[in-house]
């Protein structure tokens, strides 16, 4: 499996939230849903996405935008237009009188702008490894968007067929995967160094070896043997292409894997340590604290608070996902 496939593998929406909104100028909506990842497209008109701590990004009709992170952001006709409404997770999916489709009639069905967005609801749907590889906002322009997918999403948004939530979830996944693959292909100047390194056959092969078996007791010498290069040649080319030495990259990758396993499973810290290449809990804890500033146990506790309601209003235990 190549490195990009490794990042994209496991993306799976579960009960994603969707919103279709018609607007007349001037308009501006603040989003505070706390979603780890949101896709948005203007089906009609133009918009600006204004992140909390970054420059506004223009989005034209048919463009697909991906917004990363839980920080609030604004979508507006102009960056200077103040938010007229703030949307959180409870208001994201507006319901019509029958409890079915989003009701936008009060906003004017013939408005100058039509926004369609879909938001993932939890970190378990998207790995931290993928989130760390993305900017706060990225845009794929309409000329490169897979129109059949977008057309299917629009059709599902206005339909009322059985199984529509599952269809919407899977279509959101496909749109995200297609959009990200296109963006990585077009954005080598902005993509992570490991992606640009895929053009170097030896370094790309070394990356695949590390990703395929992170728990292996790798050294630069045995990694070099697998690529057909000398130890010094691999170390030099890997560092030049990826931006850090092979063993430093491996440590970061192991900690990223451990962070996802701590969040996504109930496995013990010791078993996770062995799974990602550490002999015991102590070894993982030292490396985790050095890179993340907290211990594995603290990371798991932050991801799964012992108290506090989930989306269904019930208290959630660590590692517990409410039944759907």
Q: How far apart are CA 20 and CA 42, in angstroms?
A: 10
Per-residue pLDDT tens digits for 22-80: 888 899 999 886 688 999 999 999 999 999 888 999 999 999 999 998 788 999 999 99
How high is the pLDDT of residue 300?
A: 92
How high is the pLDDT of residue 297?
A: 95
> By C-alpha distance, which of 247, 180, 177 is closest to 209?
247
Q: Give residue 93's pLDDT band: very low, low, confident or very high (50, 70, 90).
A: low
Q: Give residue 250's pLDDT band: very low, low, confident or very high (50, 70, 90).
A: very high
Which DSSP letter does residue 69 get?
S
How high is the pLDDT of residue 8?
A: 83
How high is the pLDDT of residue 96?
A: 33
Average pLDDT, the chain: 82
Q: How far apart, in Å, are the Cα atoms of 211 and each of 206, 240, 253? A: 9, 19, 8
Q: For the residues of 199-257, what is the DSSP string, one character each?
A: GSHHHHHHHHHHHH-TTS---HHHHHHHHTS-HHHHHHHHHHHHSS-HHHHHHHHHHHH
Q: Does an H or E element contain 183, and which?
A: helix 164-186
Q: Give residue 243's pLDDT band: very low, low, confident or very high (50, 70, 90).
A: confident
Per-residue pLDDT tens digits for 284-312: 999 999 999 999 999 999 876 543 333 33
Beta strands in 9-161 (DSSP E): 17-23, 28-31, 37-44, 47-51, 57-59, 64-68, 73-76, 85-87, 113-119, 137-140
Q: Does an H or E element contain 59, and which?
A: strand 57-59
Which DSSP letter does residue 235 get?
H
* Domain residue ranges of the chain, discontinuous segments joined by +: 3-186, 194-303
How high is the pLDDT of residue 130?
A: 85
What does the radius of gyration of the chain's CA atoms come to, in whole angstroms? 22
- pLDDT: which is higher, 33 or 173: 173
> Out of 99-108, 144-153, 286-295, which region has the weakest mean confidence (pLDDT)?
99-108
Residue 10: pLDDT above 90?
Answer: no
Per-residue pLDDT tens digits for 188-207: 546 666 777 777 899 989 99
**Structural class in CATH, domain 194-303:** mainly alpha
**Structural class in CATH, domain 3-186:** mainly beta
Q: How far apart are CA 210 and CA 194, in angstroms?
A: 12
Q: Residue written as tokens 């909390």?
A: 52
């Amino acid at each position: 499996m190549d490195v990009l496939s490794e990042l994209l593998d496991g993306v799976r929406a579960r009960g994603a939230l969707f919103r279709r909104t018609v607007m007349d100028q001037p308009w501006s909506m603040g989003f505070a849903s706390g979603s780890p990842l949101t896709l948005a497209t203007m089906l009609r008109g133009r918009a600006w996405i204004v992140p909390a701590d970054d420059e506004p990004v223009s989005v034209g009709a048919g463009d697909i935008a991906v917004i990363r992170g839980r920080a609030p952001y604004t979508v507006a006709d102009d960056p200077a237009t103040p938010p007229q409404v703030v949307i959180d997770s409870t208001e994201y999916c507006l319901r019509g009188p029958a409890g079915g489709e989003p009701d936008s009639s009060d906003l004017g069905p013939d408005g100058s702008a039509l926004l369609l967005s879909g938001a993932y609801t939890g970190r378990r749907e998207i790995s931290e490894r993928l989130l760390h590889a993305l900017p706060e906002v990225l845009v794929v322009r309409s000329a490169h968007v897979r129109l059949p997918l977008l057309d299917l999403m629009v059709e599902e948004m206005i339909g009322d067929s059985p199984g529509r939530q599952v269809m919407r979830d899977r279509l959101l996944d496909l749109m995200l995967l297609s959009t990200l693959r296109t963006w990585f292909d077009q954005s080598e100047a902005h993509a992570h160094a490991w992606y640009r390194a895929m053009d170097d056959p030896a370094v790309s092969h070394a990356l695949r070896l590390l990703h395929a078996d992170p728990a292996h007791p790798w050294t630069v010498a045995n990694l070099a043997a697998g690529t057909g290069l000398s130890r010094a040649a691999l170390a030099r080319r890997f560092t030049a292409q990826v931006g850090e030495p092979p063993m430093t990259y491996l440590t970061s990758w192991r900690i990223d894997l451990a962070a996802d396993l701590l969040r996504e499973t109930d496995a013990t810290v010791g078993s996770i340590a062995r799974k990602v290449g550490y002999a015991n809990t102590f070894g993982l804890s030292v490396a985790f604290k050095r890179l993340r500033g907290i211990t594995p146990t603290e990371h798991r506790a932050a991801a799964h608070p012992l108290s506090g309601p989930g989306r269904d209003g019930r208290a959630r235990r660590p590692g517990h996902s409410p039944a759907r």
